[in-house]
Amino acid sequence: MKIKNNLNVIIITKKARSQIQNLLYNKFIGIKLNIKNSGCMGLKYELKFVKKKCKNYVLFNIKKINIFVKKKIIPLIYGIKIDFIKEGLNKKFNFINPQAKNVCGCGSSFNNIT
């Protein structure tokens, strides 16, 4: 596992950082960011809170938050911005990915990575 501090790969907004830190508090060591086949556009982001280090993942430490990412998806998410938004009673993490060509209307899935 390599530890990277490259702030250009993953960007976390203040709102997202605050929410992640609240959810991590004393229970988890970080988050795992992945892409899976799902959603109306074919690919969907998956964010999981983890209690132990993830083998075969690259570790990014972004503003004291550990983010584990599979090496093969780094080019697919390079420059991704993770935000946290509230819309009425709904709250969710939002992903803005400059590598995605097409994004569904709700913003949760994408396809045609450049």
Domain definitions of the chain by residue range? 3-113
Q: What is the pLDDT of residues 7-62, one digit of tens each?
A: 689 999 999 999 999 999 889 999 999 998 876 777 888 999 999 999 899 999 99
Closest by CA position to 93, among listed 41, 32, 43, 47: 47
CA 79-36-18 angle, to 5 degrees, is 50
Q: In the predicted model, is pLDDT for residue 112 greater than 90?
A: no
pLDDT tens track for 32-46: 999 988 767 778 889
Q: What is the pLDDT of residue 30?
A: 95
Encode pLDDT of 83-97 as tens digits.
999 989 999 998 888
pTM: 0.84
The CATH code of the domain at 3-113 is 2.60.300.12
